[in-house]
Amino acid sequence: MRVLVTGGSGRLGRSVVSVLSARGHQVTSVDTAPADLPEGVDTVTADLLDPAALEEAFTRARPEAVVHLAGIAVPFARPDVETLQVNTGLAWAVLSAAVAHGAHAAVAASSPTVYGYNTPSWTPRYLPLDEEHPVAPWHAYGLSKTIIEDTVRALARTARTCVLSCVRPGYVVAPEEWEGAPTQLGHTMAERLADPALAATSLFNYVDARDAAELFALVVENPDKVRGGQVFNAMAPDPLATGPVDALLPQHHPATAAAAAALADGRAVFSSQAAHDALGWNPTRTWREQLRVPTGGSAAPSGGHRD
Ligand SMILES: NC(=O)c1ccc[n+]([C@@H]2O[C@H](COP(=O)([O-])OP(=O)(O)OC[C@H]3O[C@@H](n4cnc5c(N)ncnc54)[C@H](O)[C@@H]3O)[C@@H](O)[C@H]2O)c1
């Protein structure tokens, strides 16, 4: 299948391009930044906010599927208005081009920040957080992702042959970051695990970039198994914490105390069960096997809590 990936040079995009390529797809990566991508991948350097460049990229790639990852990927990385304009403008431009150019599937990267945690009063209705839980974004990045999810639903209302959907990856860990390279917020994974205050800001979620990439591949390979406008959480099955998350979570987010009791069996704060049920997605890379640095924490056996 011909697949166009936007943001293919990025932390997540490099794994998405590699996984799609390894699964036999003909991949075109479009990004403003260059990258060393696998042999056979067509690499286009272009700003997708430029309508002519976008049209040229789609005409060249003739995509049967589109994976849209390009954007400002970290909250507060850029001024708020820029984050909103770039992320929402890119999503509309890329996804509507996917429909117009006859793609059968288009999936956009959203984010768990749509749930709106990290305010003092944030109170989940229940835990773990699944895709049915209401969203309540409060910063420009989270709002931009909420608008992207709405954009997908809006386009899905009239798209006849293209199945549009969203994936919400957890804190993405690129392969080299397990080895000690700095993560998106500047600290290493070992530091993030050692200091619960760091991982608490994402409610202890994470996902290996290769596992997340497999879900993006499954979504575009199986449009018949995806509802138009559907959203999938994409997190590792366990929390990024050496201690019990039902106790840790209320220490950092006091209003979660009542709901956190449901996590006493060690499950993650987020549920990715929908991706497992619809597409058989089974993320296998957990910090317990991937992190090469001694953490001092208990290395309990890994395992999903899917049933
Ligand atoms: N990294 C995470 O933990 C995480 C978590 C949830 C969601 N996401 C989302 O996943 C996507 C990818 O994240 P990432 O961590 O790989 O980010 P990244 O910053 O590493 O990659 C984003 C890529 O988009 C490109 N880009 C930005 N604007 C562009 C434009 N106008 N035209 C073409 N290319 C452009 C950048 O050059 C970059 O290579 C983003 O949408 C992000 O919001 C990331």
pTM of model > 0.75: yes
Is the CB of 255 inside a 6 Å radius of any atom of ligand 1? no
Q: Of 211, 200, 203, 219, which Cα lies nearest the Cα of 286?
A: 211
Is the CB of 90 inside a 6 Å radius of any atom of ligand 1? yes
Q: With a cut of 70, which residues of the chain have pLDDT below it? A: 293-307
Is the CB of 171 inside a 6 Å radius of any atom of ligand 1? yes
Is the CB of 184 inside a 6 Å radius of any atom of ligand 1? yes
- Distance from residue 75's CA to the centre of ligand 1 (Å): 12
**Of all protein residues, whose CA lies closest to atom 13 belonging to ligand 1?**
73
Domain ranges for the chain, please list them: 2-174+207-237+270-290
Amino acid 171: pLDDT = 98
What count of other Cβ atoms lies within 10 Å of the Cβ of residue 303? 12
CA–CA distance, 16 with 82 (Å, rounded to integer): 26
pLDDT in tens, 117-131: 999 899 999 999 999
Is the CB of 94 inside a 6 Å radius of any atom of ligand 1? no
Strand ranges, E, within the chain = 2-6, 26-31, 42-45, 65-68, 105-109, 163-169, 172-173, 207-208, 230-234
Is the CB of 9 inside a 6 Å radius of any atom of ligand 1? yes
Tokens of 143: 């709002």
* Residue keyed to tokens 């991937």: 290
* CATH code reported for the domain at 2-174+207-237+270-290: 3.40.50.720
Integer CA distances (angstroms), 8 to 11, 35, 66, 68, 180, in order: 8, 8, 11, 9, 22
- Distance from residue 303's CA to the centre of ligand 1 (Å): 29
CA–CA distance, 303 with 300 (Å, rounded to integer): 9
Query: Of 6, 31, 95, which is best to mutate to test ligand 1, by the most ligand atoms within 8 angstroms of its C-beta?
Result: 31
Q: Which atom of ligand 1 is nearest to the CA of 184?
A: 1
What count of other Cβ atoms lies within 10 Å of the Cβ of residue 24? 7
Amino acid 299: pLDDT = 37
What residues contact residue 239 under an 8 Å CB cut-off, 6+ apart? 199, 204, 205, 245, 263, 266, 267, 268, 269
What residues contact residue 187 under an 8 Å CB cut-off, 6+ apart? 198
CA–CA distance, 118 with 112 (Å, rounded to integer): 12
| Bond into 75 cis (ω within 30) | no
Q: Which residues of 36-46 are buried (b: 16+ CB within 10 A; e: fewer)?
A: ebeeebbbbeb
CA–CA distance, 306 with 13 (Å, rounded to integer): 27
What count of other Cβ atoms lies within 10 Å of the Cβ of residue 302? 15
Q: Which atom of ligand 1 is nearest to the CA of 9?
A: 39
Amino acid 293: pLDDT = 60
CA–CA distance, 212 with 196 (Å, rounded to integer): 23
